[in-house]
Structure 1
Amino acid sequence: MASSCIDFDRFKLLPLSLASLSNSHSPSTSSRALILTRPRCSIPRIGLFLDGSRVKREVSGIIPRTIFLKHPRIITAVARAEPNEEVNKGNSTTAREIPTSELKQKNSQLKKRVVFGLGIGISVGGVVLAGGWVFTVALAAAVFVGAREYFELVRSRGIADGMTPPPRYISRVCSVICALMPVLTLYLGQIDVSVTSAAFVVSMALLMQRGIPRFAQLTSAMFGLFYCGYLPCFWVKLRCGLAVPALNTRLGASWPVIFGGQTQWTVGLVATLISFSSIIAADTFAFIGGKAFGRTPLTNISPKKTWEGAVAGLGGCIATSVLLSRIFCWPTSTLSAVAFGFLNFFGSLFGDLTESMIKRDAGVKDSGSLIPGHGGILDRVDSYIFTGALAYSFVKLFLPLYGI
């Protein structure tokens, strides 16, 4: 009967407690080694003294060897060895090397997130400062990719098991319509006509398909138009539609022109910058607060989110809104700045949870893989989808004097 020694640090460890087989006859080995012998019978068996008892138990179907332990002590892990695996103690991977490789992989992922995150932040900042068609076209491109990701989630196995997804050509048509909505909003100055026309076109396309139309197809397509097309258009209305000067002083009034931007800070530009910055602060403070103090789960939709993290995110969002309002002199009322930050936080949180709900039903972790280390477009912009509509409504309806 052939035998071989194996260092159990090389293999995955099973959480198992066993007493030593002090009376068993086994070859001499080190205290860190196990003796594995191949039985001649075809049925895999393992002889163990379990829980410190002196009764030997035969367990079938676990490890195709019989295991003996030299020294009389209790250990809490046993190595799993495959039947046909060649064991070479000299080339074994120690327990220290495995965490090191995992740590390197995590550091690599973190570097990707930081690099691409900074790149995205700088690019978005330049686009917001530029405004006009630059801002609108960039938003339309993001909307198109996000719409494609949404309809792929709808077609995923987790959601499609309980409903009939729209045909692929309907998904493509909806994605194109969603991308055209921001452009039409800038060109026409309003969004109502484009949304009504889009709903009519999609409904007619669904009704005239070859198969039998399903109500689930209509609802998922309509929600896609609303979620991916209609809501992002409010950022165009906020950034490009509110062109009233925002500053009471000359400080920085003509700064954007250096970069080819507008000659003065408008309400739309300042409100967009404050909203974007507040959302970033909310996500950052919520992450830090959740890691440091998170104990109470916020919702079952996203188990990693906690009430402690949400409170930290709310505080960071409001503080950022108030700070930037003092820098830009808009809005002049501190109470208005606090309310604006409060609204931005809940808009971002609701958008984040909505996308988490869609992904949970779809059975996926990320909406896509376009951005290394970050996932898809929807994973990055989910906090902004509802916030644009809330920010525009607040500035337009509750600040009739544009905060001055």
Structure 2
Amino acid sequence: MATMSYLDVDRFKLPPLSLPPLCTCPCRPISSQSLIIHRRCSRLSQIRLVFSRRKAVLRVSQNGLLPHRRVITAVAQAEPDRLDEGNAEKVLGYTEDVILESQQKVSQLKNRIIFGLGIGVAAGGVVLAGGWVFTVAFAAVVFAGAREYFELVRSRGITEGMTPPPRYVSRVCSIICALMPMFIMYRGHIDVSVTSAAFVVAMALLLQRGNPRFAQLSSAIFGLFYCGYLPCFWVKLRCGLAAPALNTSATWPFFLGGQAHWTVGLVATLISISSIIAADTFAFLGGKTFGRTPLTSISPKKTWEGTIVGFCGCILTSVILSKVFSWPTTLFSAMAFGVLNFFGSVFGDLTESMIKRDAGVKDSGSLIPGHGGILDRVDSYVFTGALAYSFIKTFLPLYGV
């Protein structure tokens, strides 16, 4: 038999085991006051359950597993008189459940890391490319996020308190949200298109059969605003601020646009996205290490300690990158930009958490293995693009160059 490892599982609150008259066969390699039960299962080559007069030991052979994987075994208190076969089966069942749960967590972590790195690399390439490449890719993300939003609105947890819009209206709204980024890239502005889209949706709801409800109108209009209008500011930020970042020392291949490729929009987008990632990462690490005080009932896992650490990490990242790209030119502007990115990311995250809480779901979808849905990944970016664009256009003279 391969190397064994043992784990006390009194924490599983297993039912008490009773022993029958113990086997005293001299051929057993263990104590004469012990009983051995063998069992094979699909994932383990062999399970060997040994009952002694004081305790029961579940030994698991590792022949069917990878050499580096630790195998979980169980130790449970047993009575010295009788063995209940049903209880023994429960012990084996509990052990298999623990092993399966451990394997699922490892697999989920691998998927999270692999897909997270893939998404990060792809998103970085799209942001650097800019133009229609960025806009079309962004429109696809918006469409997927809008579909998830309207599915949340139609979920049982929300429909118990309101009437959701008809399915055809939800689909039309998702398509309109996806067209908004491309429209703003083509026309340069979006205000009229949003007003027109809201009018079309309102007219479709009011003319439907049955009794139109205000809840249908409000959820549909908010969907256009949340999933369509707000994300469009990322297109205005990345592609609309075409002023060259004159002080930036970063280089770019000549055949891909040369130094002129580094615009205020590109630099601001890179700093904003990096600050949001830093805020989420530092908040997670800070919450795991120091988290004690809950931030809000909307998201019980968030703590004040983690939020403060995330706030500091966001500002620090913004200041460091402002020195790297030489934009914005003042320390105060860089810190203010980091503060704005932080609050936009936090309240965007909390808004999506509120929607999921009312819907009664953990994730907005299952499109990204290990991460959930699109909204679970981009909730921190929904409000941030609008805040960053407004800050640069309104409060930074000469776009901060």
TM-score (norm 2): 0.79
Q: Report the alpha carbon displacement of residue 262 of structure 1 after superposing the two structures with TM.
A: 7.3
Matched residue, 2:291:
294
Letter of the 1:330 partner, please give it. W
* Partner SS, residue 353 of structure 1: helix
Residue 250 of structure 2 is aligned to residue 252 of structure 1? yes
Matched residue, 1:172:
171
1:5-404 aligned within 5 A:
13-14=12-13, 27-28=21-22, 30=52, 31-33=54-56, 69-70=79-80, 81=86, 87=89, 92=92, 99-248=98-247, 251-253=249-251, 255=252, 257=254, 259=256, 263-404=260-401
Q: Report the alpha carbon displacement of residue 260 of structure 1 after superposing the two structures with TM.
A: 6.2
Query: Relative to structure 1, is the Cα distance of residues 258 and 32 closer, same or farther in structure 2, using a 3 angstrom cutoff?
Result: farther
Q: Which portions of structure 1, spanning 4 or more consecutive aligned residues, are displaced by more than 6 angstroms? A: 9-12
Q: Report the alpha carbon displacement of residue 98 of structure 1 after superposing the two structures with TM.
A: 5.6
The answer to whether the 8 A contact 1:130-1:261 is kept is: no
Deviations 1:218-237 (A, max 9, x none): 00000000000000010011
Residues of 1 paired with 2:366 and 2:253: CA distance? Answer: 34
Q: Report the alpha carbon displacement of residue 401 of structure 1 after superposing the two structures with TM.
A: 1.6
Q: Report the alpha carbon displacement of residue 103 of structure 1 after superposing the two structures with TM.
A: 3.1
The answer to whether the 8 A contact 1:11-1:80 is kept is: no
Letter of the 2:106 partner, please give it. N
Query: Relative to structure 1, is the Cα distance of residues 242 and 367 closer, same or farther in structure 2, using a 3 angstrom cutoff?
Result: same
The answer to whether the 8 A contact 2:237-2:268 is kept is: yes
Letter of the 1:197 partner, please give it. S
The answer to whether the 8 A contact 1:130-1:260 is kept is: no
Query: Relative to structure 1, is the Cα distance of residues 257 and 11 closer, same or farther in structure 2, using a 3 angstrom cutoff?
Result: farther
Letter of the 2:79 partner, please give it. L
* Partner SS, residue 298 of structure 1: strand
Matched residue, 2:41:
none
Q: Report the alpha carbon displacement of residue 261 of structure 1 after superposing the two structures with TM.
A: 7.7
Q: Report the alpha carbon displacement of residue 100 of structure 1 after superposing the two structures with TM.
A: 4.9
The answer to whether the 8 A contact 1:351-1:384 is kept is: yes
Deviations 1:251-289 (A, max 9, x none): 225x16555687331111100000000001111111111
Letter of the 2:190 partner, please give it. I
Residues of 2 paired with 1:205 and 1:400: CA distance? Answer: 44
Q: Report the alpha carbon displacement of residue 145 of structure 1 after superposing the two structures with TM.
A: 0.6
Residues of 1 paired with 2:188 and 2:89: CA distance? Answer: 72
Residues of 1 paired with 2:232 and 2:390: CA distance? Answer: 13
* Partner SS, residue 13 of structure 2: strand
Q: Report the alpha carbon displacement of residue 241 of structure 1 after superposing the two structures with TM.
A: 0.7
Residues of 2 paired with 1:80 and 1:373: CA distance? Answer: 39
* Partner SS, residue 305 of structure 1: strand
Matched residue, 2:70:
none
Q: Any gaps of 5 or more consecutive residues in structure 1?
A: 1-8, 35-66, 72-78
Residues of 2 paired with 1:278 and 1:320: CA distance? Answer: 6
Q: Any gaps of 5 or more consecutive residues in structure 2?
A: 1-7, 23-33, 35-51, 58-76
Query: Relative to structure 1, is the Cα distance of residues 192 and 68 closer, same or farther in structure 2, using a 3 angstrom cutoff?
Result: closer
Residues of 1 paired with 2:184 and 2:397: CA distance? Answer: 22
Over the aligned positions, Cα root-mean-square deviation in angstroms equals: 3.0
Q: Report the alpha carbon displacement of residue 27 of structure 1 after superposing the two structures with TM.
A: 3.7
The answer to whether the 8 A contact 2:348-2:381 is kept is: yes
Deviations 1:361-391 (A, max 9, x none): 0000100100000011000000000000000
Q: Report the alpha carbon displacement of residue 125 of structure 1 after superposing the two structures with TM.
A: 0.7
Query: Relative to structure 1, is the Cα distance of residues 211 and 322 closer, same or farther in structure 2, using a 3 angstrom cutoff?
Result: same
Residues of 2 paired with 1:277 and 1:300: CA distance? Answer: 28
Letter of the 2:161 partner, please give it. G
The answer to whether the 8 A contact 2:283-2:309 is kept is: yes
The answer to whether the 8 A contact 2:56-2:78 is kept is: no
Aligned length: 346
Residues of 1 paired with 2:390 and 2:216: CA distance? Answer: 31
Letter of the 1:129 partner, please give it. L
